[in-house]
Amino acid sequence: MTMSTEKNRQRTINSARRYMDEGHFEAELETRVRIRTESQKKGDSLTLLHHYLDDNIVPAFADIGFHCMKYENPIPGYGPILLATRIEDTAYSTVLGYGHGDVVQGQDEHWTTGNGPWEISKEQDKLYGRGTADNKAQHTINIAALRSVINERGSLGFNAKFIMEMGEEVGSPGLREVIEANREEFSADVFIGSDGPRMSPSIPTITLGCRGALNFNLDVNLREGSHHSGNWGGLIADPAIILSHALASITTSNGEIKIRDWLPPTTPVAVQKALEGLVIEAGEGAPDIDSDWGPAELTSAAKVYAWNSFSILAMKSGTPDDPVNAIAPSARAHCQLRFFAGTDESRILPALREHLDLHGFDNVTIQVPDGVAGFAASRTEPDHPWVQFVQSSMERTMQASPAIIPGMGGSICNDLFTDVLGLPAIWIPHSYAACSQHAPNEHILLTLTRSALSIMAGLYWDIGDSKVPTP
């Protein structure tokens, strides 16, 4: 890189920083947070999902020379999908980006900080509002970084495509169908998106995939109606007790999974190397890590980035908020398995059925609720040339090595990029684990945001400067 080009690169980064320092980032984000894009709600929310794209995102992309195509969701009742495209030269690399404009429900009455979910408010280093962390600030950062490169160079120096979907919080329904039906339009050389948290607020992070997720109910339904616990206690089976024992048979008392087919394959050497030295520092307000939970031989980083976990998300029998002296007729647990790439997804529920039957729980039924979409597990290998290119660019900008995480602990539609489009998929998250994502008081850190703007401006500049990184 010549001295002149290095100066151009630094001016691009400085421009991205000024965008924040002069208040433009906060003002732009505020217009997006105000739109109540709650995809989990029906009715008027669909109109707002379209409004977010039509009146906010499309103008932002059009302003920097992108052509926008909005696809109606092929699944009725769900939000649209936008593809913004800027093709400068067919000889250049094409980078596919991603963001989602939908958010979880506002939970307005539970916010204790700021002005509630739909107005951003600032307290010291924190900027509050629904969608700030997940995902409106993250795609705002990336669009601003693209704009900074274009303003400095007069072009990107590469081709860019950017997906904005409006249904990630309900499992990305319809996104697969749209991509599969329009593969050429969505084709690229690499996927670089932003969602999820950094490993630590102060450490820039590259994430190379995600755990899969499968949600299911375990039910015990024994009879019609409840029966007096004095007259019938000891005479009739209690579904809550049966279900509790069934659940207890799935893991040890410290959460180690006991179903063999639910365990991931041997961790690849490149993944093991990437995990070395990673320390999870979620930030202020995060819960303490229970070091004795899960396999004792694994580090905390390995447990969440390279292993499988079983969780009971909700349980119910009887009327918990107003209990009566009666044995309930049924019990339900809503469960989830998060699984690492390489786990045989087709065996998850059959293996559970075999396990329950083997332990005498044939009266426990398994059901995947209607409308609950799962995610597949997927991963790009840490030694891929595009990963090394992105790592080198981030090191140049931050003067420090980023953390490289083989797969985020959460789940997202990463397999659409790796498996359907056949791309190396690289995530550069701009949030942190204690951001209250999906909870009241969601927020981002302003210092983290400023570094993220620098990283993305530098990366987009480097891609355009090299034209075609090692394929």
> Average pLDDT for consecutive 10-residue bins of the chain (471 residues)?
79 98 98 97 89 98 98 96 97 96 96 93 96 97 98 97 95 94 98 93 94 95 96 97 98 97 91 86 82 93 93 95 96 96 94 98 94 81 94 96 89 92 97 93 97 98 80 51
SS3 content of the chain, % helix, strand, coil (to 5): 35, 20, 40
Radius of gyration of the chain from its Cα atoms, rounded to whole angstroms: 24
Gap between the Cα atoms of 347 and 274, Å rounded: 28
Gap between the Cα atoms of 389 and 464, Å rounded: 12
pLDDT for the residue 470:
54
197, containing H or E segment: strand 197-198
Give the phi and the psi of residue 200 in degrees, each rounded to 5.
-145, 145
For helices 446-466 and 137-153, the axis angle rounded to 10 degrees is 40
As given in the structure block, the two tokens for residue 300 are 């905390």
Q: Is-contact 208 407, C-beta < 8 A?
A: yes
Sole residue written with tokens 């039906």 = 181
User: What 8-state DSSP symbol labels residue 186?
Assistant: H
For helices 3-21 and 24-33, the axis angle rounded to 10 degrees is 50
pLDDT for the residue 224:
94
Give the phi and the psi of residue 326 in degrees, each rounded to 5.
-150, 150
Gap between the Cα atoms of 302 and 404, Å rounded: 12
Q: What is the pTM of this model?
A: 0.85
Q: In the chain, where are the structural domains located?
A: 3-210+377-466, 212-264+308-367
pLDDT in tens, 36-50: 999 998 777 999 999
Gap between the Cα atoms of 198 and 154, Å rounded: 32
pLDDT for the residue 152:
97
pLDDT for the residue 411:
83
CATH number of the 3-210+377-466 domain: 3.40.630.10
| Residues in a beta bridge with 426 | 192
CATH number of the 212-264+308-367 domain: 3.30.70.360
Gap between the Cα atoms of 446 and 76, Å rounded: 38
pLDDT in tens, 409-429: 888 889 999 999 999 999 999
pLDDT for the residue 373:
63
Decide: residue 471, CB within 10 A, 0-12 exposed, 13-18 middle, 19+ buried.
Answer: exposed
Pick from 271, 216, 139, 208: nearest CA to 415 = 208
